[in-house]
Structure 1
């Protein structure tokens, strides 16, 4: 395996000159730079990224904290950030925060220990105060899908409550009043906000909230199946369902097929949707779209600016978009 010494000897320069060419530091004549690159190519020399990071005080890596590696939502999130980092020729390190504050703390510390140049945090359980304290440290970061008072310039957020309200208002506008809710775990802020939208829509239309029409699940397919079964066992006469995630919506559809229930003939459905799952169901499901791909792209761009000491742009709070399809029946 060729070394930096071999490159220097073939190019007829010092090892320090080769290092300056690799790290793009100092003044180097273009002819010298070309000789070094030709020597590297001839010897098939690949620079050691660890040595390079020590020389430049940059690891050339970006860290991403996610709750889970599973599910279409996190796949879309990680893929978008990876694409952005590829364009910037940076390595992406992903650490799983799981579902607790302690796990998120550990995930962030691991990435800091790896000397990441910057972080994107999809952290659901850390206290606001902890994130504010983290902002006082040297490693720049952007917060994804969360609004923290005092760190608004670092937050790429989404109006979850407004999205939930939009979904339930759509069902009410089509004559539905007994509307079930497949809710996320209500210890999570986003789940609280999505449920708040459900409450607000009912209240504004003078429909009493019935907690027995609500069942919690962990945003996954199996949870959606069991939550839907729980609600139907108590209320077989419901006419519509608001699902707080696309994975839970799929689980509900599994149950409907088992019971030969049709959508929207027997029951109408509106769901959150961050990818294209709801368009693949039959019938295609009306959704409020959660634009995680666009949000991840903006977070990546903003972090790049921070790492390059550029002024932060005004970050967007993304608005929900209703996408009507074939899953809602109008009641007479």
Structure 2
């Protein structure tokens, strides 16, 4: 098996030069770099990653923590971060925070113990104070869809309140005043923000908030189905529904179909979306698009900037707004 010494002799350079090429450190001319690479290929030399880590004080790994491995949202997020990580020549290690602060804490600790070079975190349950404390000792990290004032230079953010307000405004402009809401769990900050946007839009139009027309769920299709059934059982009239996730919009349509309620002829529907599930429903559902892939790409790029990786321009912006995608699920009332 070839060694660094063998490669150095074949390329007619010092072992230190071969090490600099392997670890991408120090000053090496392009012609010398190519000569060393050619020698490694000819001799089928395979570097020892443990030795490289010790020499460079890096592991060439990036840790990504997401809430769950389930669902298209997180699949798209992982795929986009993977592209950035690949382009940096690094390896991605993924953990899931599941659904508690304890699980998120354990997932982050695991990645830190793996000695990752940097972290990209989609955190839902840990407090701002704990994240600030983690920042004091952890590798460089970026927060995706989270704003912490003391860590503002490492946050990729989205205005959920404004986005929800815009979605509900579409229904209001089409004459709807009885608008139900399939909300997330209101103990969660982002779910609370989406609900706040809904409430703000109603208040601006002098429409009283009726909590009987609000259900809470976990953003799944089942939650949307159960929520829609619950709305129907109240017996209260409504002409439109705002679903705070595309999965819940799909479940809502399942429940309406069972009850022979047509969208949009009988009830209009608008949703949040992130992976275009709304375009696979019939009719295609109007939605406020949450740009998860764009945000994940910018988050990965910002992290590479914090790690001072070459070839990555600093992102032009780190805050995102939603995009209304109007389709066929909202009917204009006379």
Instruction: Give the alignment's TM-score, normalised by structure 2.
Output: 0.92
Match of 1:240 in 2: 240
The alignment partner of 1:150 has SS state of: helix
- For 1:76-95, list aligned pairs within 5 A: 76-95=76-95
2:258 corresponds to which residue? 258
Alignment of 1:34-113 (within 5 A): 34-113=34-113
Counterpart among 316, 323, 326 of residue 321 in structure 1 = 323
* Structure 2 SS opposite 1:135: helix
Q: Quote the Cα distance in structure 2 between the aligned partners of 1:28 and 1:273.
A: 48
> Which residue does 2:213 correspond to in 1?
213
Q: TM-score, normalised by structure 1?
A: 0.93
- Mark the CA change 1:29 to 1:169 in structure 2 (over 3 Å): closer, same or farther: closer
Name 2:333's counterpart in structure 1.
Answer: 331
Aligned residue runs from structure 1 range 1-332, under 5 A = 1-8=1-8, 10-11=10-11, 15-26=15-26, 33-137=33-137, 139-235=139-235, 237-308=237-308, 315-332=317-334
Count residues with an aligned counterpart.
Answer: 332
- Structure 1 stretches of 4+ moved >4 Å: 8-17, 26-35, 309-315
- Flag the 1:30–1:278 CA change in 2: closer, same or farther, 3 A: closer
Instruction: Please tell me whether the aligned partners of residues 144 and 157 of structure 1 are also in contact (alpha carbons under 8 angstroms).
Output: yes
The offset of 1:28, in angstroms, is 5.2
Inter-CA distance 35–172: structure 2 relative to 1 (3 Å threshold):
closer
The alpha carbon displacement at 1:22 in A equals: 1.4
In structure 2, do the counterparts of structure 1 residues 54 and 228 end up closer, same or farther at CA, with 3 Å as the change threshold?
A: same
Deviates most, 146-155 or 20-29: 20-29
Task: Say whether the 8 Å CA contact 1:154–1:315 is kept in structure 2.
Answer: no
SS in 2 for 1:254: helix
Question: How far apart, in 2, do the equivalents of 1:103 and 1:21 lie?
Answer: 39
Question: Which string of whole-angstrom CA distances, capped at 9 and with x for unpartnered residues, describes residues 87-137 of structure 1?
Answer: 111111111111111111111111111111111111011110111122222
CA offsets 1:149-180 (integer angstroms, 9 cap, x no match): 22221111111011111111111111111111
Q: Unaligned regions of 5+ residues in structure 2, if any?
A: none
Tell me how far apart the structure 1 counterparts of residues 55 and 108 of structure 2 sit (CA, whole Å). 24
Q: 1:206 to 1:23 in 2, by over 3 A?
A: same
The answer as to whether partners of 2:228 and 2:256 remain within 8 angstroms in 1 is no
Alpha-carbon shift at residue 316 of structure 1 (Å)? 2.7
C-alpha RMSD of matched pairs (Å): 2.2
Tell me: CA distance 1:286–1:29, structure 2 relative to 1, closer, same or farther (3 Å). closer
Report SS of the residue matched to 1:69. Answer: coil
CA distance in 2, matches of 1:327, 1:243: 12
Give 1:59 shift. Answer: 1.0
Aligned equivalents of 1:28 and 1:292: distance in 2? 39
Q: Partner of 1:126: helix, strand, or coil? A: coil
Deviation at 1:16, TM superposition (A): 4.3
Quote the Cα distance in structure 2 between the aligned partners of 1:309 and 1:5.
28
Shift of 1:233: 1.5
In the TM superposition, residue 243 of structure 1 has moved relative to its aligned partner by 0.3
Distance 1:215 1:50, change over 3 A: same
